[in-house]
């Protein structure tokens, strides 16, 4: 199994894609602030999960990357509140 088989990754990826589609409807004046930021942070959740999975045998690195995923998830939540 790869990181793509993880339920948490699948959910994060699905939500990042949903955010991408929804953010297409954001006003053009939000392109460089809200739109880019929410897309970037939602994608970072997925990338951090993938990186953590690859380094899962190294506990400190794994915990660090999972913490990064949680941080990016929180950032995404804040951008959703602004939107």
Percent helix, strand, coil in the chain, to 5, is: 85, 0, 15
Check if the beta carbon of residue 48 is closer than 8 Å to that of residue 68: yes
CATH class of 3-82: mainly alpha
Does this model's pTM top 0.75? My answer is yes
CA–CA dist 53, 36 (Å, integer)? 26
Instruction: Per-residue pLDDT tens, the chain, 83 aa: give them.
Output: 899 999 999 999 999 999 999 999 999 999 889 999 999 999 999 999 999 999 999 999 999 999 999 999 999 999 999 99
CA distances from 36 to 4, 5, 26, 56, 59 (A): 24, 27, 11, 30, 32
Predicted local distance difference test score (pLDDT) of residue 64: 96
């Amino acid at each position: 199994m790869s990181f793509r088989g993880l339920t948490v990754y699948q959910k994060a990826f699905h939500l990042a894609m949903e955010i991408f589609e929804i953010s297409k409807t954001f006003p053009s004046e939000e392109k460089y602030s809200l739109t880019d930021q929410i897309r970037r942070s939602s994608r970072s959740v997925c990338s951090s999960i993938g990186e953590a999975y690859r380094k899962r045998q190294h506990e400190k690195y794994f915990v660090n990357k999972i913490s990064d995923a949680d941080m990016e998830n929180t950032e995404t939540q804040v951008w959703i509140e602004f939107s």
